[in-house]
């Protein structure tokens, strides 16, 4: 899953309250806020989006190459880069 960075502006009092909660639970502010968001959306259905024609063609080509044995398993990025 890819990630997106989020910037949040809070009133000082709210920030102090949240900071106290994070310290109480031994979490970073980021981890605490991520937990709150995940708790809020855990019962929601995740929407599904249709791929573009181009993306679908690329994915099907990659799947075909995988099934025909044209792909490699990469266990270490360093080893892979060194083998190029």
- pLDDT tens track for 9-63: 999 999 999 999 999 999 999 999 999 999 998 888 878 888 899 999 999 999 9
Structural domain contains residue 33: yes
CB 51 within 8 A of CB 58: no
Indicate if the alpha-carbon torsion angle 36, 40, 43, 49 is positive or negative.
negative
Query: Is 47 part of a structural domain of the chain?
Result: no
Overall domain count for the chain: 2
CA–CA separation, 63 and 59 (whole Å): 6
Residue 68 lies in a domain: yes
Residue 58 belongs to what domain range? 53-83
Element (H, E) at 26: none
The answer to the question of residue 6 being in a domain is no
Q: What integer pLDDT is reported at residue 1 of this predicted model?
A: 62
Residues 57, 36: one domain?
A: no
Whether residue 48 is contained in a domain is answered as no
């Amino acid at each position: 899953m890819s990630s997106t960075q989020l910037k949040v502006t809070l009133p000082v009092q709210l920030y102090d309250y949240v900071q106290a909660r994070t310290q109480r639970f031994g979490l970073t502010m980021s981890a605490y806020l991520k937990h709150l968001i995940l708790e809020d959306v855990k019962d929601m259905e995740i929407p599904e989006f249709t791929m573009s024609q181009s993306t679908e063609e690329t994915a099907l080509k990659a799947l075909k190459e995988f099934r025909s044995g044209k792909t490699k398993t990469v266990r270490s990025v360093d080893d892979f880069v060194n083998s190029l």
